[in-house]
Structure 1
Amino acid sequence: MTHDLVLHCAGREVARYLVGPGLPARLSPRPYLHPVTTLGGIHVTEARPVDHPHHLGVSVAVPDVEGVNFWGGRSFVRGRGSTELDNHGVQEHTAFPHRGPDGCVEELRWLRRGAELLRERRTIAPVPLTDQAWALDFTYALTNTSGHALTVGSPATNGRPGAGYGGFFWRAPKEPAAPAVFSPDAEGELLAHGARADWLALAGQGWTLVFAGITEETRRDPWFVRAGEYPGVGSSLAAVQRLAVEPGETVVRRIVTVVADGRLDRGDADTLARKAVTA
């Protein structure tokens, strides 16, 4: 039985949510959204690309939960660098309290060899904005059910400067030219990466994504940005230091992403981001 879900907005199919994709262990199996499209039908996600096979459209991916890799691929080990380890976890779907073309509420377990570290409640909903734009509203709540304190880390906290990825992550399609990157007060990958901003835009060939944190905690997380090497944007849980999660404690993050046809300028991106946040 498949649990995959098709999402609609403004009467059009805009995303598929793959719940049980049957991935190999090395990719840290997890649910993900792909393809995600603009209302005009342009694909704005990529899954399992040659450059990073563990990049899976839109997902929640964390490279280090108490040493367990929920990101996929190699792990960064202090003093050794990127290293192949048998440390991959899996996000296991358990239930859909709600599911339909208007979105879903999902319950998951984050497991390592059958042992549960975290339990997650995830909410995904498409939101109409204009004739040329819609928004993906994505919330995840991670509760420490391990019975002991956990910490969440990243390659940056393990010794690789600038690699503070982990959390909500969107892999966009790689095109002949790198996408433009800008925020309300910054231009380019170099200035946007690692910075905090109300929103961050990635603009490719005929499409623009505008990412905005909703909650106060989410807005405090820096943006992880790649454009030249590959196009991807994430909201970082542990960009500089490890995030401690006590037993029974819940970490909640909410990101709304505008998905627009065309290349938006800063003014249009700001207008749509504000509309998405208040929709």
Structure 2
Amino acid sequence: MSPEPPTVLRCAGRTVARYTTRPGPAPHHSPRPYLHPVTTLAGRPVSEAVPEDHPHHLGVGVAVPDLAGHNFWGGRTFVRGRGPVELDNHGVQRHDGFTLRDPDGFVEELSWTAGGERLLREYRTVAATALTGTAWALDLTFSLTNVSGRDLSIGSPATNGRPGAAYGGFFWRAPKEAAAPAVFGSGAAGGGPDADGEDAVHGAAADWVALAGEGWTLVFAGATARTREDPWFVRAAEYPGVGSSLARDRRLQVAAGGTVVRQVVTVVADGRLDRDEAAALVRKAVTS
């Protein structure tokens, strides 16, 4: 991949994100398109890329640590019985082109390749919508179709033997600050008590989860019934990040020609929202 200028995403007349389609080569990164920086309407950064603690974290995007044994996440690969291991198994998400591009969003086609083989075709839709004078929503939908001609499966460190590490799918790396962000979530999908704290929210299939930092709040919501079934992967104390878990207890099977679709809508707000404010903005974002 050769670097090219980022695509600008605008909302309410302001630049709120930049999208890098062809990042330059970097060791152990599993090159892939990503959004960064993402900001609030007031211009406060709410994403991070290539941080010192996890240099393979690239802003906001889609990544999986194990697709048929290939690493599309970056960094080391968790191997059962061995732990994290540096392997020469990194795949590439190649930007093939935009099928639609407007100031407030785009539709992109990508190829997920490894070892010279195209495994998945992805259609990614990204859209920015204004909610209030201090909040906007980022809608990210990805559709992964198995074009390899054989059955594939998606795994995670959890399915490979590392408890609590079922990351893979949508992922948002937030900026690390002096204090860890507050974490809270809605009731579990299908009904259940509200949750507070990283331990309570991590691994839950909640309707939405929130990170509240220094002058900003991110609220992540599954926008379809199938997306809401995926548990959330949440980190706050070690580093701030939220993602989906496509493979928590078992590998996600993707038959030849089969397609996996997920949609996550993220409220990006200035200030620290409380639970009621977060819930109200999620309702507006998901139905708008």
* In structure 1, distance between residues paired with 2:42 and 2:208: 23
Moved over 2 A (4+): 1-4
**Which amino acid in structure 2 is aligned with residue 206 of structure 1?**
G
- 1:205 and 2:210 are equivalent in the alignment: no
**Which amino acid in structure 1 is aligned with residue 65 of structure 2?**
P
**Which amino acid in structure 2 is aligned with residue 245 of structure 1?**
V
**Which amino acid in structure 1 is aligned with residue 228 of structure 2?**
R
Q: Structure 1 stretches of 5 or more lacking a match?
A: none
2:190 counterpart residue number: none
1:64-83 alignment runs, 5 A limit: 64-83=66-85
Task: State the 1:25 CA deviation.
Answer: 4.6
**Which amino acid in structure 2 is aligned with residue 176 of structure 1?**
A
After TM superposition, the score normalised by the length of structure 1 is: 0.99
Aligned residue pairs total 279
2:260 counterpart residue number: 251
Contact 2:77 2:86 in 1 (8 A): yes
- 1:261 and 2:263 are equivalent in the alignment: no
- 1:100 and 2:109 are equivalent in the alignment: no
1:19 counterpart residue number: 21
Contact 1:5 1:101 in 2 (8 A): no
Task: State the 1:240 CA deviation.
Answer: 1.5
Secondary structure of the residue aligned to 1:17 is strand
**Which amino acid in structure 2 is aligned with residue 261 of structure 1?**
D
* In structure 1, distance between residues paired with 2:10 and 2:17: 7
Identity %: 69
* In structure 1, distance between residues paired with 2:69 and 2:167: 15
**Which amino acid in structure 1 is aligned with residue 97 of structure 2?**
A
2:285 counterpart residue number: 276
- 1:233 and 2:242 are equivalent in the alignment: yes
* In structure 1, distance between residues paired with 2:154 and 2:44: 35
Contact 2:167 2:243 in 1 (8 A): yes
* In structure 1, distance between residues paired with 2:249 and 2:201: 16
1:135 counterpart residue number: 137
Superposition RMSD in Å: 0.9
Secondary structure of the residue aligned to 1:79 is coil
After TM superposition, the score normalised by the length of structure 2 is: 0.96
Do the aligned partners of residues 62 and 139 (structure 1) sit closer, same or farther apart at CA in structure 2, a change above 3 Å counting? same
2:223 counterpart residue number: 214
Of residues 173, 177, 195, the one that matches 1:171 is 173
**Which amino acid in structure 1 is aligned with residue 280 of structure 2?**
T
1:155 counterpart residue number: 157
1:83-122 alignment runs, 5 A limit: 83-122=85-124
Contact 1:207 1:260 in 2 (8 A): yes
